[in-house]
Structure 1
Amino acid sequence: MPQAQTLDDIRVEFDAPDNVPKDRIVDLSFAMGTAPNDLADPYEPMGWLAGKDIPRLLFNPPSMHGLGAISGNRRGSWVVTHYEDIERVYSDNEHFSNAGTAEFQRLIGETFKSIPLAIDPPDHQKYRLYLMPYFSPARITRDLEPRIRRVVDEMIGAIEAKGEVDMAWDFARVYPVRIFMGLMGFPDEKFDQFLDWEWDILHSGSLDKMQAALRGVLDFLRAFIAEKERNPDEHLVSSIVHGKIEGRALTDDEKIGMVWFLWLGGLDTVAATIAQMFRRLALQPDLQKRLRDHPQLINSAVEEFLRTQPILSSSRTATKDFEWHGIEVKKGDSFSCLNPAGNFDPARFENPRTFDPERKANRHFTFVGGVHICLGAHLARRELRVLLEQWFERIAEFRVKPGADTTVFPGLLSIRNLPIVWDVK
């Protein structure tokens, strides 16, 4: 689809519900991470959707492809694109529910919930408080950062004398998953199988592949949980299954719900972020040099990479009928928060399209917001910071390998391959 710049470019005909004005019906598939481009800033095509002349609620018809078709959703979704509206959807738990979000397990008839992602307040708090200590900054510094640094050191050591690496496939895809598997206590030999299952669930668009992968991973996770019940160890899965909530042991559904949610969230998002981060650095040598020369900027630069690379947009469901921006919202209406627009809203961010590694008060939505803010946000930040610190210390200025395809999907699909090269010292 050509890059759209006005609502007239993307308006479509659709037999929408009665509460949807015809002039709000637009095809926003180009902004959902499924339309590739080759821009240095791959999210540029959808930034205009946060403009002050854009209606505050748009309506996107259901996709006839991918999960929308597979799940049978034919209703469509409201889309919010402005920062303050996205903030409301994420934080207003009275009007918006997260129940059912990312519950792919329903495709094979499973009824357990993804915990804590798909749990609304007040129950959400008890599950989040149960898991949060394992992902706190202090715990990451004490227990995980030494492992993160060892893994980075080992992986860079394996390539620094070669002068090239496929940063997406051989590094970004591997590094965060090694950290995650060590945290959870999963066996190293499941590495490739995990990535195959994850790809089929999130990216294949094939119901048969999704169902087969879901059965495979859930069978494994249930067997792994049972093993840790018999033989406890020091890793997170064991800690989860032997812990207590409000003085009681966890139910079987709570155990698989937590372990499944962590498995699903631990494999893909950081990998996509790393690939896009290194793509931008390779395409913009001035930015690369600035961070090399001023390593004290790495922390704030990581935050800016996160803001300008919103991998996911999150959905909610209306809990009741109410009026918003002149629209009669109905209970059960779906809402999609378009983070690739909200993160570039000029009402919130000064010069939003400029990559500013010194940007202050960088409160973006890449980790979502409200009570459901990403549980692993601190871990992801630490993984990115340590990687950049050690990379710039040991690898010379790098560039995209001549002739390589730098096309990117601005979302979770991201970049499958990114060969980069550098001059070996």
Structure 2
Amino acid sequence: MATMPDQPLQPDLRSRAPRPDHVPEAHVREIDMYALDGIEAGYHEAWKRIQQSGVPDLVWTPFTGGHWIATNGETVREVYNDPSRFSSEVIFLPKEAGEKYQMVPTRMDPPEHTPYRKALDKGLSLNQIRKVEDKVRTIAADLIESLAPRGECDFSAEYANVFPVKVFMALADLPMEDVPILSRYARMMTRPEGNTPEEMARDLEAGNDGFFAYVEPVINARRGTDREDLISVMVNAEIDGKPISHEKALGLISLLLLGGLDTVVNFLSFMMIHLARNADLVEELQKDSLALMRSAEEMFRRFPVVSEARMVARDQEYRGLHLKRGDMILLPTALHGLDETLNPDPWRINLARRGLSHSTFGGGPHRCAGLHLARMEVIITLEEWFKRIPRFGTREDINPVYYSGIVAAVENVPLVWPA
């Protein structure tokens, strides 16, 4: 469940880092990943504004501790896919906050990362996810059934913030009453508050510590059991032939909670805003069940919500620039999926698109392990929604409110339909 910042971000009060000597002045742009210029018109629209003709492959911003930003799809993809040059040692910005992030295996590089990733892949494999399809569909159908007779809803608050959370809590066998506090921890990590890197680091660290404190008794209770829930599978996994350590289990289970309670939640609302404004696309999806199923990948290309980072692993020359070890590079996945050089006419959902290119699930060894569950949730949402609410639109007198960060968010998504 997405939780929004308690106070609006104030770019004018936030600190700016001095430009390092190795950063050419021509590459400097004032871009604040947590308070994008023009975000009131849309999160993706705000990021796309910097992808102009002639913009360098990498620009540097003094905000958020000072860091590079990849500005096109090719650069985003290359940095994701080359851990030998671009490390996952720190993945969140500002760097001071990212250094407080303790979840695994996202902060590991191969080969250390590999056995933990195998454990994740086993628990979230396509075969495992297919076993829970009926349960996922029932959760979606029951929720939409409760909304349909009303003729209106706030989709963000009443569906997107509920459905994937219910699914994940059921898979993990955790009580729904714990969702508000877990969602707050997720917000503290993906959209940390503060006007300086140090303030943001404290907020992110508090969120990380909150997750660890929550999962510790859960891990202790499920260690050594033969339960089949997702957490039990993970805590009883073997790493290099030995039981996973308690410390690493804390990081692994906390990562599952963070991913399950924030990412798909926000993606669904962005997708539904677009569908509510494009009745022809909705009609096209309803006519062809196969096209609907295939549409999920195009939806992911069009509405990426993640902007994580990589750390430069060693001093190197890259795309005409001198990068120093420890430099951070932000990878806005929106600038890959919406890059017209890789995806012609990128704003349009094109159900016939072939060879689509995106980094919505990341890339390289850290490609998101939850992608099969995410696809299932999107397809089931569309199928069950269209069965009960085939025609719907947005209230023109209320506008969505967008938030940027490591994971983007949107709230206030009022939909209306004939009751």
The normalised TM-score by structure 1 is 0.86
Select which of 23, 30, 33 maps to 1:20. Answer: 23
SS of match in other structure, 1:79: strand
Alpha-carbon deviation of 1:96?
A: 0.7
Equivalent in the alignment of 2:349: 355
Does 2:124 align with 1:130? no
Equivalent in the alignment of 2:326: 332
Alpha-carbon deviation of 1:383?
A: 0.3
Q: Is the 8 A contact 1:292 1:392 kept in 2?
A: yes
Q: For 1:321 and 1:332, locate their aligned partners in 2 and report how far apart those are by CA, in whole Å.
A: 9
Which of structure 1's runs of 4+ aligned residues deviate more than 6 A?
106-111
Provide closer, same or farther for how the CA distance between residues 84 and 215 of structure 1 changes in structure 2, counting only shifts above 3 A: closer
Alpha-carbon deviation of 1:166?
A: 1.2
Q: Is the 8 A contact 2:333 2:360 kept in 1?
A: yes
Provide closer, same or farther for how the CA distance between residues 45 and 257 of structure 1 changes in structure 2, counting only shifts above 3 A: closer
SS of match in other structure, 1:408: strand
Provide closer, same or farther for how the CA distance between residues 409 and 201 of structure 1 changes in structure 2, counting only shifts above 3 A: closer
Q: Is the 8 A contact 2:306 2:408 kept in 1?
A: no
SS of match in other structure, 1:170: helix
Q: Is the 8 A contact 1:166 1:418 kept in 2?
A: yes
Equivalent in the alignment of 2:176: 188
Q: For 1:190 and 1:108, locate their aligned partners in 2 and report how far apart those are by CA, in whole Å.
A: 25
Q: For 2:314 and 2:125, locate their aligned partners in 1 and report how far apart those are by CA, in whole Å.
A: 35
**C-alpha root-mean-square deviation of aligned residues, in Å?**
2.7
Q: State the one-letter code of the partner of 2:126.
A: P
Q: Give per-residue Cα distances to partners, 1:307-351, cap 9 Å, x unaligned.
A: 111101221011111111221111111111222222222221122
Select which of 242, 246, 251 maps to 1:257. Answer: 251
Q: State the one-letter code of the partner of 1:420.
A: L
Q: For 2:344 and 2:99, locate their aligned partners in 1 and report how far apart those are by CA, in whole Å.
A: 47
Alpha-carbon deviation of 1:157?
A: 1.4
Q: For 2:244 and 2:231, locate their aligned partners in 1 and report how far apart those are by CA, in whole Å.
A: 13
Equivalent in the alignment of 2:134: 146
Provide closer, same or farther for how the CA distance between residues 80 and 215 of structure 1 changes in structure 2, counting only shifts above 3 A: closer
Q: For 1:374 and 1:422, locate their aligned partners in 2 and report how far apart those are by CA, in whole Å.
A: 35
Q: Is the 8 A contact 2:309 2:328 kept in 1?
A: yes
SS of match in other structure, 2:41: coil
Q: How many residues align?
A: 397
What does 1:287-298 align with in structure 2 at a 5 Å threshold? 287-298=281-292
Provide closer, same or farther for how the CA distance between residues 408 and 300 of structure 1 changes in structure 2, counting only shifts above 3 A: farther
Equivalent in the alignment of 1:81: 71
Select which of 160, 171, 176 maps to 2:164. Answer: 176
Moved more, 338-347 or 23-32: 23-32
Equivalent in the alignment of 1:10: none
Q: For 2:277 and 2:170, locate their aligned partners in 1 and report how far apart those are by CA, in whole Å.
A: 33
Equivalent in the alignment of 2:8: none
Equivalent in the alignment of 2:58: 57
Q: State the one-letter code of the partner of 1:183.
A: L
Q: For 2:133 and 2:342, locate their aligned partners in 1 and report how far apart those are by CA, in whole Å.
A: 33
SS of match in other structure, 2:150: coil
SS of match in other structure, 1:161: helix
> Alignment identity in percent?
27
Q: For 1:326 and 1:402, locate their aligned partners in 2 and report how far apart those are by CA, in whole Å.
A: 47
Moved more, 413-422 or 91-100: 413-422
Q: Is the 8 A contact 1:300 1:359 kept in 2?
A: no
Where structure 2 has 5 or more consecutive residues not aligned to the other structure, the ranges are 1-15
Does 2:316 align with 1:322? yes
Select which of 332, 355, 358 maps to 1:364. Answer: 358
Provide closer, same or farther for how the CA distance between residues 135 and 223 of structure 1 changes in structure 2, counting only shifts above 3 A: same
Q: Is the 8 A contact 1:181 1:187 kept in 2?
A: yes
Equivalent in the alignment of 1:68: none
Alpha-carbon deviation of 1:48?
A: 5.4
Equivalent in the alignment of 1:43: 44
Q: For 1:251 and 1:116, locate their aligned partners in 2 and report how far apart those are by CA, in whole Å.
A: 13
Q: State the one-letter code of the partner of 1:77.
A: H
Equivalent in the alignment of 1:71: none
Q: For 1:308 and 1:117, locate their aligned partners in 2 and report how far apart those are by CA, in whole Å.
A: 24
Q: Give per-residue Cα distances to partners, 1:114-157, cap 9 Å, x unaligned.
A: 2111110111111111210221222211x221111110111111
Moved more, 348-357 or 24-33: 24-33
